[in-house]
Amino acid sequence: MKTNERGLRRLHPLDDALEAMYFGWRGMTREADQYLATLGLSRVHHRILYAIARREGITITDLLETLGVTKQALHRPMKQLIDGGYVVTERDPSRHRYKILALTPAGQAVEHRASSHEREVMRRAFEHVGHSGRDAWSAVMAAIARSGEGDSNTGQQR
């Protein structure tokens, strides 16, 4: 079994791809996570802020579906974001049972800064690998994302 530079044994031919994903993710999120930690926030808070920032009029139900989490998993970090003044809720005027989520100016600033750290890492990486590398990476990531939604070849649910 081949050993890589991190001292990890290869137990499967795809281990190098898994390690690239794990360590790449860690490298991309490191600065953002350090910034979030100074505010008492974490990666999960950033995911919530990111989704709310990109979907005007998003409801709790929409957010749960977007993030692929349960109400129980969302409750605590969402409460922290609301209590911290990063997110506000209001009743949907046309569907009173639904709450619409929005970022406050503070929430917008946190989301922007954390995402900017990650975008800069991505920009540098894409600059290094060029357009063909970016296109290949995007195709692989799209295929991986589809695998969580159903069969990646047919689009059908498993």
Which pLDDT tens digit goes with each residue over 17-76?
999 999 999 999 999 999 999 999 999 999 999 999 999 999 999 999 999 999 999 999
- Whether the CB-CB separation of 52 and 82 falls below 8 Å is answered with no
CA dist 121 and 29 (Å) reads 9
The CATH number for 24-139, chosen from 1.20.1090.10, 3.90.1150.10, 3.50.50.60, 1.10.10.10, is 1.10.10.10
pTM of the model: 0.84
Domain regions of the chain by residue span: 24-139
